[in-house]
Structure 1
Amino acid sequence: MTTSAPESVLDVISELLIERFEIPSDEVRAEAPMRDLLTDSLMVVEMAIAVHEVLGVKVEEEELREATLADFVGSVEARRTDR
């Protein structure tokens, strides 16, 4: 039996953006504003739900509109370690 290291929060969120939301992988960069990646309000709501389902962290839609990818990942990581 082999065990692999758990995926990082950045990996998980990047994968969601690329796979679920069909964002081109070259656009998923740390400095990218989330509002540019999630271009409509439905995408923002769906991402908030997906992060809660996959990572167990509740996020506010406003966070997704105001943060860069790196800032958002940092915020989610901080809440995961607080548990």
Structure 2
Amino acid sequence: MTASAPESVLDVISELLVDKFEVPPEEVRGSAPMSDLLIDSLMIVEMAIAVHETLGVKVEEEELRAATLAEFAASVGERLADR
């Protein structure tokens, strides 16, 4: 993958947050904790499924709860690059 891969993964995840989960765009920033953006357990499970369906990367719910948007996107990007 190219050096821009983390940005594209960040863009994809950001779009999911805005389009699928109706998070206001102004709240979608790299420093935002995923647990603040996905306000309940069902949203966290749905995001894990959406990331798997969209990017083909399995993520754990705990990973979503513990990371900021930027950290989560970087982690998913690394797994994509390792394929």
Do the two structures share a fold, i.e. TM-score over 0.5?
Answer: yes
Structure 1: runs of 5+ lacking an equivalent: 1-5
In 2, the alpha carbon distance for the partners of 1:56 and 1:36 equals 24
Equivalent position of 2:33 in the other structure: 33
Q: Which residue of 2 aligns with 1:56?
A: 56
Please list the CA deviations of residues 30-70 of structure 1 after superposition, one character each: whole Å capped at 9, or x if unmatched: 00000000000000000000000000000000000000000
Helix, strand or coil at the partner of 2:70: helix
Q: Greater relative contact order: 1 or 2 (C-alpha under 8 angstroms, separation 6 or more)?
A: 2
Query: Which residue in the other structure is 1:20 paired with?
Result: 20
Between Structure 1 and Structure 2, how many residues are aligned? 78
Whole-angstrom CA distance in 2 between matches of 1:62 and 1:45: 10
How large is the RMSD of aligned CA atoms in angstroms? 1.3
What percentage of aligned pairs have identical amino acids? 73
TM-score (norm 1): 0.91
TM-score (norm 2): 0.91
Corresponding position of 1:3:
none
Instruction: Tell me how far apart the structure 1 counterparts of residues 68 and 51 of structure 2 sit (CA, whole Å).
Output: 15
Larger radius of gyration: 1
Q: Which runs of 5+ in 2 are unaligned?
A: none
